[in-house]
Amino acid sequence: MTPLILATNLKDYALLDSGNGRKLEKFGPHVVDRPEPQAMWPTHLPQSDWDKAVAIFTGQGDDDEGAGARWQFKGAQPAPWPMEYGKTKFLARFTPFRHMGFFADQTPHWDFMLEQLKRQKQPGTEQPKLLNVFGYTGVASLIAAQAGAHVTHVDASKKAIGFARESQELAGLSDKPIRWIVDDALKFVEREARRGNLYDGILLDPPKFGRGPDGQKWEVFEHLPALLAATKEILNPKGGFLILNAYAIRSSFITLHDLTTLTFPKSTLHESGELVTPEKFRPLRIPTAIFTRLVL
């Protein structure tokens, strides 16, 4: 297996600079300054560029809830603003969790998903069915719906799904077939397996820890094997695709690759690697997530 290193290419997003444990990014009209423990090199832009940040996330390391972890705004907190991936519009916003309510580094997954949906959409066939599990604010769900898929989006957070619906309206996709479901990921997928439902594409973006809507515990190392086993039951064995992504877990993409090889020994394509965000002006990259993806 040759590891894939896939870089984001989102319009209106740029990693302008990084260093000294911070990163300076542009999200549409807003420049923001956030912690980045991996940026152990020096910065290169002058302080006057860093001073353009309208929001600074204070607090260090990976702990978004640690002491002092919060946004500090220069002036009023900006209202949610539109961003675009291809033809799909969605809303970005400042969340309490150090990010902008979506993950700019995920564009390679969206590209792959679109390629696969296009392959599956043969003239005379039904619209492909996509399941987005741990789908959060739904950018991938909107992109898939815009590309003509029937989408089922599952997340434990009502609030995240509320944000997703706002983006759906902004994107002009209110008439598209998207089922927004507040449920526990494992419970939902196991139920779909019992019902014998099949999907042509499945996205899994599990957090390290989480809670279902009824307090169900999610712990990636404990529950991912069961989730994959249930996912296998509902992934179309004729050309279905799976993208499994993970942030901030103490593991390598090799583990994701090998675990999915055990679950899906007969794929026609199976590749794994890391998502990275390249700096705009220097040949430096910030790795953000590990992933594996396969086609049956």
Ligand X SMILES: C[S@@+](CC[C@H](N)C(=O)[O-])C[C@H]1O[C@@H](n2cnc3c(N)ncnc32)[C@H](O)[C@@H]1O
180 binds ligand X (CB under 6 A): no
CB of 46 to ligand X, least distance (A): 33
Among the listed residues 145, 147, 185, 228, the single contact to ligand X using CB under 6 A: 185
Q: How far apart are the first and last CA of the chain?
A: 17
- Tell me the pairing of strands 70-73 and 178-182: unpaired
Among the listed residues 155, 192, 200, 274, the single contact to ligand X using CB under 6 A: 155
Which residues share a beta bridge with 252? none
273 binds ligand X (CB under 6 A): no
**Closest residue (Cβ) to ligand X?**
210
Q: Which two structure tokens, joined as six digits, stand for 240? A: 């279905």
For residue 180, what are the CA distances in angstroms to 42, 100, 174, 197? 44, 21, 12, 17
Which residues share a beta bridge with 31? 26
Q: Which two structure tokens, joined as six digits, stand for 204? A: 């899994």
134 binds ligand X (CB under 6 A): yes
135 binds ligand X (CB under 6 A): yes
Q: Which amino acid is at 271?
A: E
Nearest CB to ligand X, comparing residues 100 and 235: 100
> Rg of the chain's alpha carbons, rounded to an integer?
19
Among the listed residues 27, 218, 264, 291, the single contact to ligand X using CB under 6 A: 218
- As a whole number of angstroms, the distance between CA 113 and CA 245 comes to 13
Q: Which residues contact 200 (CB under 8 A, 6 or more apart)?
A: 117, 120, 128, 129, 130, 149, 236, 239, 240, 241
Nearest CB to ligand X, comparing residues 135 and 240: 135
Among the listed residues 115, 169, 211, 252, the single contact to ligand X using CB under 6 A: 211
142 binds ligand X (CB under 6 A): no
| Helix (H) or strand (E) segment spanning residue 130 | strand 129-133
CB of 289 to ligand X, least distance (A): 9
What are the φ/ψ torsions at residue 21 (nearest 5 degrees)? 80, 15
Using DSSP, state whether 90 is helix, strand or coil. strand
Nearest CB to ligand X, comparing residues 175 and 214: 214
Among the listed residues 57, 90, 103, 199, the single contact to ligand X using CB under 6 A: 103
Nearest CB to ligand X, comparing residues 205 and 279: 205
Using DSSP, state whether 24 is helix, strand or coil. strand
13 binds ligand X (CB under 6 A): no
Rule CB under 6 A: which residues touch ligand X? 102-103, 106, 134-137, 139, 155-157, 160, 184-185, 205, 207, 210-212, 216, 218, 247
